[in-house]
Amino acid sequence: MPFMKPHSQSFAICLLCVLYTSMLCAQTKQKLMVQSSVDKSLQPCYIIVPDGYDASDSTVYPVLMALHTWSNSVEQNNADWENEAYKRGWIYVFPHFRGPNNRPEACGSKIAQQDILDALSYVKANYHADEQRIYLAGVSGGGHMTMLMASRHPQYWTAASAWVGISDLKKWHDKHAKTKYGAMMRASCGGAPGDNMTVDRQYKERSPIHFLANSKRVPLDIAAGIHDGHTGSVPISHSLEAFNVIAKSVNAEPVSDQEIQQLSMPQGRLKAPLISDQIVDSSLGRDIHLRRYASQSRVTIFEGGHEGIAAAAFNWLARFYTNRAGNNVQVDESK
């Protein structure tokens, strides 16, 4: 092997570690067909079990329900999240929930929601799932669906993490009426907002912003890169306004309209950041421009774009468990 400089050696070692973990995941990755409880169709779902998983053993494992992005499907490459779950010894579940958001059955429909619950039921029935640690996460369209599932079906989740998610489909259509995303929403909802009451009802029913007050039992992590909406497709206002619904429902201080405007400008910054906005988060590994809390939930605007950071999401989720009373509580990290 030719001589490599120290930084090249480090890169090669890291690359080998990633490739090795990916091979381990591939060896344990199973594609299953889960029957829909609504239309009885068979829906694809990938599952990765932890290293050393033994069906004859009684050991239980945390479950991550990971959700694909807006234009993707169950076949999406989600290596960072798969590898993080595998490294932590969690059962990783990746359902299809009707695939890309370009038809009525997808895009947050009731049947797509039920597909996710059906996949969870299948895992609970056939794998050693730790029912005190059932987690939910997604990026972009997966962030949209994470917020929707946490608010429409909060009883199933111990904690959730939504990255650069769409919280209001009507508002997003206003931005993307002439792009492929607008066309996809019209195909899913039956037309454009304002066409008729039936169409408007579809946009409302599929938008988390109208239901997030119901999510307050679920510790929900909402995050967005500050450049999204400029270099990416989802403005950070979707995340901030989603958080504000939760904040108002628990009598916490919302992010002000002025603060949202300041951060939403190109290269925007807060004029008067709070102490919580200046925290350093090693699991995130990015500068933070805003971080606010509402009960057990939070919102973060970080230096970045339209992306999700798996390590930070897992770090958040791992803090919580469901106790015997059915309450989602934070692990006491001081013990």
Length of the chain: 335
Which CATH homologous superfamily contains domain 31-168+207-330? Alpha/Beta hydrolase fold, catalytic domain (3.40.50.1820)
Instruction: For the chain, report the end-to-end CA distance as a whole number of angstroms.
Output: 47
Q: Is 306 helix (H, G, I), strand (E, B) or coil?
A: coil
Query: In the chain, what's the furthest Cα-to-Cα distance?
Result: 69
Q: What is the three-state SS of 86-128? A: HHHCCEEEEECCCCCCCCCCCCCCHHHHHHHHHHHHHHHHHCC
pLDDT given for residue 28 in this prediction: 80
Query: What is the per-residue burial (b if ≥16 Cβ within 10 Å, else e) of 136-174?
Result: bbbbbbbbbbbbbbbbbbbebbbbbbbbbbbbbbbbbbe
Q: Alpha-carbon distance 242 to 220, whole Å?
A: 10
- Residues in the chain with pLDDT < 50? 1-8, 10-21, 23-24, 334-335
Domain ranges of the chain: 31-168+207-330
pLDDT given for residue 325 in this prediction: 86
pLDDT given for residue 274 in this prediction: 98
pLDDT given for residue 30 in this prediction: 95
pLDDT given for residue 334 in this prediction: 39
225, 166 Cβ separation under 8 angstroms: no
Residue with tokens 């899913």: 188
Q: Is the CA virtual torsion 49, 306, 154, 193 positive or negative?
A: negative
34, 17 Cβ separation under 8 angstroms: no
Q: Is 74 helix (H, G, I), strand (E, B) or coil?
A: coil
